[in-house]
Amino acid sequence: LNGFSVRVHGVTPDELLALDRAHVWHPYGPMPGRIDPLVVTDAEGVRLRLADGRELVDGMASWWSAIHGYRHPVLDAAVRDQLGRMSHVMFGGLTHEPAVRLAARLVEITPEPLRHVFLADSGSVSVEVAIKMCLQHWRSLGRPDKRRLLTWRRGYHGDTFHPMSVCDPDGGMHSLWTGVLPQQVFADPPPAEFEHDYVQHLVDLVERHADELAAVVVEPVVQNAGGMRFHDPRYLHVLREVTLANDVLLVFDEIATGFGRTGELFAADHAGISPDVMCVGKALTGGYMTMSAALCTSRVADGISRGEVPVLAHGPTFMGNPLSSAVANASIDLLLGQDWRGEIKRIETGLRALEAARAVPGVKDVRVLGAIGAVQLDHPVDMAAAQRAAVEHGVWLRPFNDLIYTMPPYVISDDDLSQVCNAIIAAAAVP
């Protein structure tokens, strides 16, 4: 294979990169582009194939989503089958089996009182919808002052405006949008262990701001973009009790944690409680298509229905997209039709090999939960150099801040998983 002479749809990889640099935004990227992304031509199982012929084991599952790996025959067939019927149709005034079946399935597998499902098109939009549900609920009940949100620092909920307002206030987004973002109430980030002082801090804040709070919005059990921080699920109990006692709604953002990643189907299951609103996305479609959902209880929906405007004021063009719904149904069936708990346990055990990173100078901590593994350094990672080191070990990673981490597809073999762990340890050793 002659490296970079492989043409991708008639364009050489060099030409493609030049066009990319000139015209295409990447996540949090500058324009024109400065860093050359790797050109990926196709992917199968847990492997990404590059235009220069190299293959990389995907340690990222395309940001938590490709839980069954790429080109899974069952998911491919679900998309093809749905393509033969319709790829899209508007959802206003029309409905169809894939979306209705998906909504019913989500109600069945999420914690008990969640009952009504809004099928949106990205994680951020599902958080927007969740926040709208909460604000509209209180407005409809004649309490428009309840419009602020409480969250804990180091959170991440998406890049559109309302979700940005509940992202970490010390992060760049807040300084960029001073005066534009709604002013929310921030608690300290939850500690890993259960601490009574922290419980008191949470309870005090909710009680003090109850009259102006529409909801508490948090990532349960794992704060991912905020540093892959895990916390004791008992904090979720505390939030459930204090929100119920103070007429505040509780929103769980399970966009990253949903569908088994943490060892339970949803992170809320670690605490055995249910929020009033829950967002899912990413792995919902097995990473095949863009789709998310915001689920709410009858209490929240009833509030909205009693308002002057008794409808939920949101309706995107691609709502309930049939292709996304069909592949989401297939992905959920595939996940629940296997011993997914056993697979997550197997990956958790394999990821324990990361403990060896503790011997690397500059490594501060190693954390593993379910199918998530993270090595934290005592200094910022040289992202490009660490990524290069991983690629040299045949693994795709995306180091960030002081972290090198993985959330691999659940179908990863034990051998590939140890390759991922070795690559992380090598990346951590980059000076």
Instruction: Please list the active-site residues.
Output: 28, 156, 253, 282
Contact mark string toward ligand PMP, 213..232, x via CB under 6 A: ------x----xx-------
**Can you say whether the dihedral through the CA atoms of 16, 18, 21, 25 is positive or negative?**
negative
> Token digits for 126?
């599902």
Binding window for ligand PMP (CB under 6 A); candidates: 103-111, 242-250, 252-260, 355-363: 252-260
Binder of ligand PMP out of 59, 111, 158, 233 (CB under 6 A) = 158
Q: Which is nearer to ligand PMP, 371 or 389 (CB)?
A: 371
Scan residues 62-81 and list those touching ligand PMP (CB under 6 A).
63
Q: Which is nearer to ligand PMP, 98 or 158 (CB)?
A: 158
Q: Which is nearer to ligand PMP, 353 or 372 (CB)?
A: 372
Binder of ligand PMP out of 157, 209, 261, 393 (CB under 6 A) = 157
Residue 250: CB minimum distance to ligand PMP, A: 15
Cite the annotated binding site by residue number.
63, 123-124, 156, 253, 282, 315-317, 398
Q: Write the DSSP symbol of residue 37.
A: P
Single-letter code of the amino acid located at 97: E
> Token digits for 414?
């034990």
Residue 361: CB minimum distance to ligand PMP, A: 31
Contact partners, residue 298, CB within 8 Å, separation at least 6: 113, 115, 116
Spell 273-284 as b/e; 16+ CB within 10 A means b: bbbbbbbbbbbb
| Secondary structure element (H or E) that encloses residue 309, with its range | none
Give the residue at shortest CB distance from ligand PMP. Answer: 123
Q: Which is nearer to ligand PMP, 139 or 157 (CB)?
A: 157
CB 67 within 8 A of CB 258: no
Binding window for ligand PMP (CB under 6 A); candidates: 107-115, 145-153, 242-250, 253-261: 253-261
Question: Does 124 contact ligand PMP by CB under 6 A?
Answer: yes
Distance in angstroms between the alpha carbons of the first and the last residue of the chain? 33
Binder of ligand PMP out of 123, 227, 233, 399 (CB under 6 A) = 123
Cα distance between residue 339 and residue 356, in whole Å: 29
Binding window for ligand PMP (CB under 6 A); candidates: 6-14, 154-162, 168-176, 364-372: 154-162
Residue 148: CB minimum distance to ligand PMP, A: 19
Binding window for ligand PMP (CB under 6 A); candidates: 29-37, 153-161, 173-181, 298-306: 153-161
Size of interface with ligand PMP, in residues (CB under 6 A): 15
Q: Which is nearer to ligand PMP, 29 or 362 (CB)?
A: 29
Residue 156 burial (CB count, 10 A):
22
Cite the annotated binding site for pyridoxal 5'-phosphate by residue number.
123-124, 253, 316-317
Q: Write the DSSP symbol of residue 282.
A: G
Cα distance between residue 117 and residue 121, in whole Å: 13
In the chain, what are the helix, strand and coil shares in percent, each to the nearest 5? 40, 20, 40
Neighbour-count burial of 107, counting CB atoms closer than 10 A to its CB (0-12 exposed, 13-18 middle, 19+ buried): middle
| Cα atoms found within 13 Å of the Cα of residue 350, Cβ hemisphere only | 24
Binding window for ligand PMP (CB under 6 A); candidates: 3-11, 46-54, 171-179, 250-258: 250-258
> Token digits for 130?
């969740």
Q: Which is nearer to ligand PMP, 123 or 275 (CB)?
A: 123
Residue 157: CB minimum distance to ligand PMP, A: 5
**Beta-sheet strand order (sheet of 395-396):** 40-44, 47-50, 55-58, 395-396
Scan residues 103-122 and list those touching ligand PMP (CB under 6 A).
122
- Cα-Cα-Cα-Cα torsion 195, 200, 202, 205, nearest 10 degrees, comes to -160
Residues contributing to the site for ligand PMP (CB under 6 A): 63, 122-124, 127, 156-158, 219, 224-225, 253, 255-256, 281
